[in-house]
A and B are shown apart, each in its own frame.
Chain A
């Protein structure tokens, strides 16, 4: 099926006593857009630098295209990086910046010129060939960095927070363009970001990194809909995370009793009465009504926040605050009573296997 192009095997990195990457395993497929997503300081840049060779591994292996490159210098690895602040060569023109890698690899002149021209067309920098980096805008510098990274035709491109320094509008444009370039060239992107929206819109798969390990790796949809851990649920999107006990089981269904008398019916997946379970409910997954119905529980609207496309409610249920997002919340006001239900297909139970 899909071919593994980059393989990280039991990768560890220590800076002095600080254990930054802990026994990390990761397979990256040929042609995919994989995002490493995680909070600042979790080790994303370090992972990327170990793939490019700019950082030595403490233990473990880096395998690229079937070849163990763990002890090979960056210059000899067939990957290129687009750095956070572009790291363009300030004393060289756009053309020379893009040409640098080709010169280092001794690509014949006619071939090199053709490739530079193609790259310049691809990133839409025609007419800027003779400018120096400091005569370009942030977006244009970004494009030079991309051109410089792809011109060597390596199969893997590493991108470290490459869009973080751009303003929001430009960022959105570049996200779409990067994705397009990646599809067009069919190369593998390993993209580092701490921006979840960016990760969700651009990636084929997302690896959630926490504390130097992979917390979960999955498609954006599965990461959002089927988080495996509290950390993933909390880090991606908004979530109500509640912990309770299984109080009733029948053949197909079970009841999980959460604090403050919230009983939720869920599918029974071999649960035992008394088992502790953590459930995740996304804010858009509630059924909300001003009329009581079977199995609903009562809460009070504590805050009403209009946010354009959606309205955010914070509903107080005894001591628990629930976050609820609605498209139309006009029938609810601050202080009014509401009755809540959660359809069982929207209840995520953490710790379920094979989901």
Chain B
């Protein structure tokens, strides 16, 4: 009985993994396919990758994506972390309401947020382009950063900060020596989330991009209108690689601390 359960459980886990990762594997495999269609695999080639690097449009979209992702991640992480700490530290009228309000940008459909942002930019007479794209990405990332940082703040954090104050630490020292190290995991996962969300955003970028500010996801979106070609596969494989690298760095960074603890 026990045996059978274990077998079923393992089978289930394997099926879930196949379901999740098979499409990704197919995508990566076909990016090395000689044929121009995604139907039969006729031989190995890296020509789609080399072609990508000759495509000036794509390269520009790629650079735009990275610029937007990096600036919006840094900005939203700083703003989001400050906001999370402020929301946890200070009491003010309607604090509960503000806390609830923060979830709205997370749960409302992206398309609504996209249109809303577009209306604001039009109202303010802003020219659509890199600037509005970065602004939009900052806007939708902040609630994610706040939520992530806030999950590392609790009553215990407050007590630990008070202990530091009691031992002679100034407010600044408390923040630097105690609060910041305690919330670091939340800040890192918030930043990782912001970066990956920005990297692959289509909907909001679609509304807030202007001429000359194409991003990679938008470019891909326009490419597949004419059918999925191997160069799209190659491009998305590269994006996948970028995200994997970011995640690995983030995981290594966090597990280094754990390992240090185990060794000590």
Contacts and interface: CB of A to CB of B under 8 A. Distances in A.
Contacts of A131: 264
Given A104-B173, A132-B261, A74 B160 contact: no
Given A91-B182, A104-B173, A132-B261, A74 B159 contact: no
Chain B interface residue count: which class? Answer: 10 to 19
A259 to B, nearest CB: 49
A325 interface: no
A100 interface: yes
Contacts of B169: 75, 100, 104
A115 interface: no
Contacts of B57: none
B124 interface: no
Contact of A100 (B156, B164, B170, B264): B164
A101 B168 contact: yes
Nearest to A76: B168
A126 to B, nearest CB: 16
B163 A75 contact: no
Interface in A87-102: 87-91, 93, 100-101
B254 to A, nearest CB: 13
Interface string A46-75: 000000101000000000000000000111
B181 interface: yes
Contacts of A91: 181-182
B158 to A, nearest CB: 9
Interface stretch (A78-86, A201-209, A329-337, A340-348): A78-86
Interface string B28-67: 0000000000000000000000000000000000000000
A226 interface: no
Given A89-B178, A90-B160, A132-B264, A105 B166 contact: no
B99 to A, nearest CB: 20
A52 B165 CA distance: 10
Given A75-B168, A81-B166, A104-B173, A89 B264 contact: no
Contact of B163 (A76, A87, A93, A130): A87
A194 interface: no
Contacts, number: 62
**Chain A interface SS verdict (over half):** loop
Interface in B158-191: 159-160, 162-170, 173, 177-178, 181-182
Contact of A89 (B164, B168, B170, B173): B164
A144 B148 CA distance: 31
Interface string A202-231: 000000000000000000000000000000
Contacts of A52: 166
B246 to A, nearest CB: 24
A152 B165 CA distance: 13
Interface string A127-152: 00011100100000000000010001
A90 B182 contact: yes
A101 B167 contact: yes
Nearest to B168: A104
Contacts of B178: 89
Contacts of B167: 75, 80, 100-101, 104, 148, 152
B182 A74 contact: no
Nearest to B261: A132
Contacts of B264: 93, 130-132
B168 A85 contact: no
B171 to A, nearest CB: 9
B178 to A, nearest CB: 6
A87 B156 CA distance: 7
> Which 9 pairs of residues, A with B, have the shortest CB-CB distance?
A101-B167, A104-B168, A87-B163, A87-B159, A91-B181, A75-B168, A74-B165, A104-B169, A81-B166
23 contacts: A75-B170, A76-B168, A79-B166, A80-B166, A80-B167, A81-B166, A83-B159, A83-B162, A87-B156, A87-B159, A87-B163, A88-B163, A89-B163, A89-B164, A90-B160, A100-B169, A104-B170, A104-B173, A130-B264, A131-B264, A132-B261, A152-B167, A152-B168
Interface of B: 156, 159-160, 162-170, 173, 177-178, 181-182, 261, 264
